[in-house]
Amino acid sequence: MRHPTAYCTCWPGATVWLTGLPSSGTSAIAEELVRRLVPERRRVEVLGGGENRAPLTADLGSGREDRIAGVRRIGLVAETLARNGILALVPVIAPQADAGTAVRRRHERSGTPFLEVHVTTPAEVCTEREVKGPYTRGQATGNLTGPTGPTGADDPYEPPHTPDLAIPAHRQRPEESAALLLGLLKERGLA
């Protein structure tokens, strides 16, 4: 059964797929956007890593196949949320651009908005942050753990082919990056 897409006076749901290298700042942007939207009574959920998500991905290792399986599971949950009017923010280090494409297709099949955002912090900046330790709480509880965590050395990160937005998170504060993302959501009628 196809469910109606508009309820009450809420905004439509959407998935924002925030992809970048480990420590690129994806989680910090997601958490900053939550801080902006929750006071507006917007339903929003960050699907990061962390212990609370253990049942979903605890069985997965860091190998390529396991990482792709994790991306697909998180993508399914995001699509289910977004199809039901929730803004699902997903900080993810997709090991292969194709993994993101499969998630995009799942959204297209159900007519659910899907935005792919590339956080373009360069590798040298990310490495420096990792040496210094997690640079924000969001990062520590977000994409540094679990199967959406660091890409293995033998499995290089592939940036998305055609992102809806590229955010140079290394040149600005998370607040500014979140504002950029909020601008895209407003432009698309999703916030």
Q: Should residue 1 be labelled a site residue for its own copies when binding is judged by CB under 8 A? A: yes
Instruction: Name residues whose C-beta falls within 8 Å of residue 76's C-beta, 6 or more positions apart in sequence.
Output: 106
Identify the residue among 21, 30, 33, 44 touching its own copies (CB under 8 A). Answer: 44
User: Which helix (H) or strand (E) element contains residue 181?
Assistant: helix 174-187
Q: Pairing between strand 87-92 and 14-19?
A: parallel
Beta strands in the chain (DSSP E): 14-19, 44-46, 87-92, 114-119, 165-167
- Least separation, in Å, of the C-beta of 34 and its own copies? 6
Q: Should residue 111 be labelled a site residue for its own copies when binding is judged by CB under 8 A? A: no
* Residue list 54-83, contact with its own copies (CB under 8 A): 55-56, 59, 69, 72-73, 75-77, 80-81
Q: Should residue 35 be labelled a site residue for its own copies when binding is judged by CB under 8 A? A: yes
- Least separation, in Å, of the C-beta of 181 and its own copies? 17
- Least separation, in Å, of the C-beta of 31 and its own copies? 8
Total interface residues for its own copies by CB under 8 A:
31
Q: How many residues does the chain have?
A: 191
Q: Should residue 41 be labelled a site residue for its own copies when binding is judged by CB under 8 A? A: yes
Identify the residue among 45, 130, 155, 158 touching its own copies (CB under 8 A). Answer: 45
Residues of this chain that interact with its own copies (CB under 8 A) are: 1, 3-4, 7-10, 31, 34-35, 38, 41-45, 53, 55-56, 59, 69, 72-73, 75-77, 80-81, 84-86
